[in-house]
Chains A and B, each alone.
Chain A
Amino acid sequence: MRLFRAHVLVCAGTNCSLKSNKAVQDRLVREVERRGLADEIKVVETGCFGLCEQGPTVVVYPEGVLYCRVTPDDVPELVEEHLLKGRRLDRLLYREEVPAAGAAVSAGPKAFQTVPEMNFFRGQVRIVLRNCGIIDPESIEEYIANGGYEALGKAITAMTPAAVVEEVKASGLRGRGGAGFPAGLKWEFAAKAKGDTKYIVCNADEGEPGTFKDRLILEGDPHAIIEGMALAAYAIGATQGYVYIRGEYGLSIDRLQKAINRAKEMKLLGRGIFGSKFDFDIEIRTGAGAYICGEETALFESLEGGRGEPRLKPPYPTDSGLFGKPTAINNVETLASVAQIIANGAKWYRGFGTERSPGTKVFTLTGDIVNEGLIEVPMGITLREIIFGIGGGVPNGRSFKMAQSGGTSGGCLPAALLDVPMDYDELAKAGAALGSGALLIMDDTHCIVDIARVFARFFMHESCGKCVPCREGTFRLHEFVENATKGKATPQDLQTVHALARTMALASLCPLGQAAPVPLLSTLQYFRDEYDQHINEKRCPTGTCRGLATPAKALSAAGKGA
Chain B
Amino acid sequence: MVKTLEDLAKIKDKAKATLSARSAEQSTKVVIGMGTCGIAAGAREVMAAILDELGKRNLAAVTVAQTGCVGLCDKEPLVEIIRSGKPKVMYGRINAERARRIVAQDIVNDQIIGEWVVGTKA
| Chain A residues in the interface with B (C-beta under 8 A) | 1-7, 9, 36, 39-40, 42, 61-64, 84-87, 114, 116, 134-135, 139, 141-142, 144-147, 149-150, 153-154, 157, 265-268, 274-275
Asked, given contacts A142-B15, A153-B8, whether A2 binds B55 with beta carbons under 8 Å apart, the answer is yes
**Are A7 and B22 neighbours in the complex by a CB distance under 8 Å?**
yes
**Are A267 and B47 neighbours in the complex by a CB distance under 8 Å?**
no
Interface string of B29-46 (1 = CB under 8 A from A): 000001100000000100
Q: How far is the CB of A458 from chain B (nearest CB, A)?
A: 40
Interface extent on B, as a size class?
35 or more
Contacts of B58 in A (CB 8 A): 1
Q: How far is the CB of B108 from chain A (nearest CB, A)?
A: 14
B65, CB-defined interface residue at 8 Å: yes
B96, CB-defined interface residue at 8 Å: no
Contacts of A1 in B (CB 8 A): 14, 17, 55-56, 58, 60
B26, CB-defined interface residue at 8 Å: yes
Chain A: which residue is nearest B62 at the CB level? A3
Q: How far is the CB of B79 from chain A (nearest CB, A)?
A: 13
B109, CB-defined interface residue at 8 Å: no
Q: How far is the CA of A409 from the CA of B3 in the complex (A)?
A: 46
Which DSSP category, helix, strand, loop or mixed, fits chain A's interface? loop
**Are B15 and A145 neighbours in the complex by a CB distance under 8 Å?**
yes
Asked, given contacts A40-B48, A145-B16, A149-B2, whether A6 binds B8 with beta carbons under 8 Å apart, the answer is no
**Are B2 and A267 neighbours in the complex by a CB distance under 8 Å?**
yes
Contacts of B26 in A (CB 8 A): 62
Q: How far is the CB of B103 from chain A (nearest CB, A)?
A: 11
Contacts of A40 in B (CB 8 A): 47-48, 51, 64
**Are A36 and B44 neighbours in the complex by a CB distance under 8 Å?**
yes
Q: How far is the CA of A561 from the CA of B91 in the complex (A)?
A: 69
Asked, given contacts A5-B65, A144-B8, whether A274 binds B3 with beta carbons under 8 Å apart, the answer is yes
Q: How far is the CA of A313 from the CA of B67 in the complex (A)?
A: 66
**Are A142 and B18 neighbours in the complex by a CB distance under 8 Å?**
yes
B72, CB-defined interface residue at 8 Å: no
Contacts of B15 in A (CB 8 A): 139, 141-142, 144-145
**Are B21 and A274 neighbours in the complex by a CB distance under 8 Å?**
no
Q: How far is the CA of A5 from the CA of B21 in the complex (A)?
A: 7
**Are B66 and A86 neighbours in the complex by a CB distance under 8 Å?**
yes
Contacts of B122 in A (CB 8 A): none
Task: Pick the most buried of A62, A142, A267: most chain B CB atoms within 10 A of its CB.
Answer: A62
Interface pairs (6), CB distance under 8 Å: A62-B23, A134-B19, A144-B12, A154-B5, A157-B5, A275-B4
Q: A1-B60, A144-B12, A266-B2 are in contact. List 16 more A-B contacts (CB 8 A).
A: A1-B14, A3-B21, A3-B59, A7-B21, A40-B47, A62-B22, A62-B63, A64-B24, A84-B34, A116-B24, A135-B19, A145-B19, A146-B19, A150-B5, A150-B8, A153-B5
Chain A: which residue is nearest B4 at the CB level? A275
Q: How far is the CA of A132 from the CA of B51 in the complex (A)?
A: 27
Q: How far is the CA of A29 from the CA of B51 in the complex (A)?
A: 19
Contacts of B60 in A (CB 8 A): 1, 3
Q: How far is the CA of A149 from the CA of B5 in the complex (A)?
A: 9
Asked, given contacts A62-B22, A86-B66, whether A145 binds B4 with beta carbons under 8 Å apart, the answer is no
**Are A145 and B22 neighbours in the complex by a CB distance under 8 Å?**
no
Contacts of A153 in B (CB 8 A): 2, 5, 8
Contacts of A42 in B (CB 8 A): 21
Contacts of A63 in B (CB 8 A): 24, 65
Contacts of B34 in A (CB 8 A): 84-86
Residue among B1, B17, B35, B64 making CB contact with A266, cutoff 8 Å: B1
Contacts of B23 in A (CB 8 A): 61-62
